[in-house]
């Protein structure tokens, strides 16, 4: 008998429940495990997936192929088309003796439809499908209010989440041992294309990625509470690209954190507690996305804010995208995104707030731009982050609270080191002047401010109060 593991956003051998289950089943019926990955470039483009994220994915799949080969598992890498055609691809794939398919469940709408189609197809042929809820640490539906509803606010969600965690801990599945025999009679397909190598700064071997996460938990997490807000400091884990495509599981992060940090995980404001909290945010936004499919259809969580008439000035949007707004911290952040595909969390908050509340551009424009550039693009986290910053989401910042980009810069990049790194035009400016370099005149080569922060506030308040009054 043949057991097929379909890899999607769980591109790893350690802590992979689908792989683990396929192995157990194959051991029980003297069968064999094989694996498939289907590239779906058309769907990725429709979802605005950044080229660098696609490249990371393709590089990772190639690395996974050789890691699985060490376990005697052949990985067939198919260049498919889109999610809608996956059922057709799987149908063409079915090898003789296939008894079951194993995969990790995904919660976006089109992904769910894809899996329903595959389930239906395989059922017709008496092939079992086993879907596993491992994308979140606590699966959706397991952290609910006393009335059985989904939490719409983070703090009580987190409290309940932690109570569950205290009770259950987390479990990670061991990497399987090499299987004794392998399967060679595989169908041939259009071979998966290579990426453009734009993500080459990010290692893709599973062992290296695990090591990066372990080192963070050993050496950096204790300082995370203070360091995580400083973009010039390498104080966060930078595992987001790996969590997004599943080279790592969030469960592995928690298990390692628990091992290294011990009881300090329970001390409020300790680095370990704060880092755990970020991983809980990740769960929270995924639970919310599944419970409110309107989010995937580009709707605001707070419905009345969809009535806001955003001015959407295209020239201002372009200045923001290019890092030419004349606000150094915003521009440095956008250039970091454009040049590296990653942006520090504090800067994601500052740039998002600036786009919406200073430039009065619909948050969806920024959400899509981020998606098209981020190596860690993840619908739930990105949408959650944007709606939070725009005051349209779940725990949203109140709309009248507006980040001041200059004071944020003074506070979180006090020496201006981060700005200097990405804006060479300002390299000669002192720590005092760099946050607002326009006095007495804007330095040559740098953009003049596109708006005056102290004047835009009134417009933001008017845009929001117009729709809030209609409630
Ligand atoms: P750490 O600080 O080391 O945190 C560890 C992990 O926790 C992260 O890798 C991530 O998986 C998770 N995490 C941390 N913060 C958040 C958060 N606020 N929401 C959900 N999960 C979180 N994160 C993405 O993974 N993909 C995105 O597309 C994305 N878009 C964002 C857009 C905006 C406007 C904002 C404000 C935040 C966004 N985030 C996104 C969340 C956060 O900025 C990144 O997860 C973080 O910067 C990644 O760096 P790190 O791995 O060093 O994080």
In order along its 471 residues, the chain shows pLDDT tens digits of 999 999 999 999 999 999 999 999 999 999 999 999 999 999 999 999 999 999 999 999 999 999 999 999 999 999 999 999 999 999 988 988 999 999 999 999 999 999 999 999 999 999 999 999 999 999 999 999 999 999 999 999 999 999 999 999 999 999 999 999 888 888 777 789 999 999 999 999 999 999 999 999 999 999 999 999 999 999 999 999 999 999 999 999 999 999 999 999 999 999 999 999 999 999 999 999 999 999 999 999 999 999 999 999 999 999 999 999 999 999 999 999 999 999 999 999 999 999 999 999 999 999 999 999 999 999 999 999 999 999 999 976 788 889 999 999 999 999 999 999 999 999 999 999 999 999 999 999 999 999 999 999 999 999 999 998 665
- Domain final residue pick, 227, 257, 291: 291
> How many CB atoms are located within 10 Å of the residue 141 CB?
12
User: What is the rounded distance in angstroms from the CA atom of residue 272 to the CA atom of residue 262?
Assistant: 9
156 and 261 belong to one structural domain: yes
Catalytic, 342? Answer no
Whether ligand 1 lies within 6 angstroms of the CB of 284 is answered as: no
Angle between helices 271-291 and 379-389 (to 10 degrees): 100
Would you say residue 185 lies in a domain?
no
Q: Which of 385, 390, 393 for a ligand 1 pocket mutation test, highest count of atoms within 8 Å of Cβ?
A: 385
The domain of 21 spans 2-134
Answer yes or no: is the C-beta of 285 below 6 A from any ligand 1 atom.
yes
Mark whether 367 is an active-site residue: no
Q: Of 310, 313, 338, 425, which is the active-site residue?
A: 310
Nearest ligand 1 atom to alpha carbon 379: 28
Q: Residue 180 falls within a domain, yes or no?
A: no
| Residue that finishes a domain, picked among 247, 270, 291 | 291
Annotated active-site residue 345? The verdict is yes
**335 and 221 co-located in one domain:** no
Token pair of 148, please? 């059985």
125, 153: one domain: no
- The total of structural domains in the chain comes to 3
**Is ligand 1 within 6 A of the CB of residue 331?**
no
| Residue among 427, 419, 353 at smallest CA distance from 390 | 353
Q: Are residues 230 and 284 in the same domain?
A: yes
Distance between CA atoms of 164 and 168, rounded to whole angstroms? Answer: 6
Do 17 and 101 lie in a common domain? Answer: yes
The verdict on 429 and 384 lying in the same domain is yes
Say yes or no: 271 and 145 in one domain. Answer: yes
CATH of the domain at 251: 1.25.40.80
229 lines ligand 1 (CB under 6 A): no
How remote is the CA of residue 240 from the centroid of ligand 1, in Å? 6
Q: Same domain, yes or no, for 410 and 379?
A: yes
422 touches 339 (CB < 8 A): yes
- Tell me whether residue 275 is in a domain: yes
The residue whose C-alpha atom lies closest to atom 3 belonging to ligand 1 is: 237
Scan for tokens 């109570």, then name that residue. Answer: 163
* Catalytic entry in 79, 278, 304, 425: 278
Ligand 1 atom nearest to CA at 343: 47
Are 380 and 447 contained in the same domain?
Answer: yes
Catalytic residue among 161, 320, 342, 363: 363
Active site residue 266: no
Give dist(CA 204, CA 202) in Å, integer.
Answer: 6
What's the pLDDT at 398? 87
Q: Say if ligand 1 is within 6 A of residue 98 CB.
A: no
Task: Supply the pLDDT for residue 396.
Answer: 66
CA distance 206 to 248: 8
451 vs 50: CA distance, rounded Å: 29
What is the C-alpha to C-alpha distance for residues 166 and 173, in angstroms, rounded to an integer?
A: 19
Nearest protein CA to atom 45 of ligand 1, as residue? 240
Distance 146 CA to ligand 1 centre (A): 29
CA of residue 421 relative to chain centroid, distance: 25
Report field, pTM of the whole predicted structure over 0.90: yes
- Pick the last residue of a domain from 291, 312, 336: 291
229 Cα to the center of ligand 1, angstroms: 12
Crossing angle for the helix pair 363-373 and 379-389, nearest 10 degrees?
140
Residue 372 lies in a domain: yes
Q: The domain spanning residue 371 has which CATH number?
A: 1.10.579.10
In terms of domains, do 143 and 256 share one?
yes
Same domain for 464 and 320, yes or no, is yes
How many angstroms does the Cα of residue 343 sit away from the middle of ligand 1? 9
Interval between CA 246 and ligand 1 midpoint (Å): 14
Is residue 451 in a domain?
A: yes
């Amino acid at each position: 008998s043949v057991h097929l593991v379909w890899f999607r956003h769980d591109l790893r051998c350690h802590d992979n429940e689908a792989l683990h289950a396929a192995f157990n089943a194959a051991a029980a019926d003297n069968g064999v495990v094989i694996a498939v990955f289907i590239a779906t470039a058309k769907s990725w483009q429709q979802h605005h997936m950044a080229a660098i994220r696609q490249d990371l994915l393709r590089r990772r799949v190639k690395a996974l192929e050789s890691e699985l080969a060490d376990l005697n598992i052949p990985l067939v890498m198919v260049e498919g088309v889109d999610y809608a055609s996956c059922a057709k691809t799987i149908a063409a794939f079915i090898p003789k003796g296939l008894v079951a398919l194993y995969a990790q469940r995904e919660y976006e709408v089109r992904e769910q439809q894809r899996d329903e189609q595959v389930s239906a197809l395989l059922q017709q042929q008496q092939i079992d499908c086993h879907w596993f809820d491992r994308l979140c640490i606590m699966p959706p539906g397991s952290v609910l209010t006393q009335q059985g509803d989904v939490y719409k606010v983070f703090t009580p969600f987190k409290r309940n989440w932690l109570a569950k965690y205290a009770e259950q801990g987390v479990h990670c599945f061991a990497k399987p041992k090499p299987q004794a025999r392998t399967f060679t009679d595989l169908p041939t397909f259009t071979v998966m294309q290579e990426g453009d190598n734009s993500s080459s700064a990010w290692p893709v071997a599973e062992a290296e990625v695990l090591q990066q996460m372990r080192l963070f938990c050993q050496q950096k997490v204790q300082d995370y509470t203070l360091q995580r807000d400083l973009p010039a400091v390498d104080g966060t884990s930078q595992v987001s690209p790996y969590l997004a495509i599943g080279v790592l599981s969030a469960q592995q992060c928690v298990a390692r954190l628990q091992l290294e940090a011990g009881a300090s995980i329970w001390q409020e404001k300790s680095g370990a507690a704060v880092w755990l909290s970020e991983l809980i945010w990740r769960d929270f936004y995924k639970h919310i996305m599944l419970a409110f499919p309107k989010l995937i259809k580009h709707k605001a969580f707070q419905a009345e804010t969809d009535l806001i008439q955003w001015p959407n000035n295209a020239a201002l949007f372009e200045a923001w995208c290019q890092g030419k707004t004349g606000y150094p911290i915003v521009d440095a952040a956008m250039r970091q995104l454009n040049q590296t595909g990653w942006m520090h969390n504090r800067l994601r908050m500052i740039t998002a707030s600036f786009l919406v509340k200073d430039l009065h551009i619909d948050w969806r424009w920024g959400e899509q731009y981020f998606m098209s550039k981020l190596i860690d693009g993840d619908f739930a986290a990105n949408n959650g982050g944007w709606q939070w910053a725009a005051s349209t989401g779940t725990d949203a910042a109140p709309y009248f609270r507006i980040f001041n980009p200059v004071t944020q810069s003074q506070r979180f990049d006090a020496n201006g080191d981060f700005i200097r790194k990405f804006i060479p035009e300002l390299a000669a400016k002192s720590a005092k002047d760099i946050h607002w370099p326009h006095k007495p005149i804007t330095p040559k080569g740098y953009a003049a401010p596109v708006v005056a922060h102290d004047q835009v506030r009134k417009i933001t308040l008017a845009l929001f109060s117009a729709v809030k009054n209609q409630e």
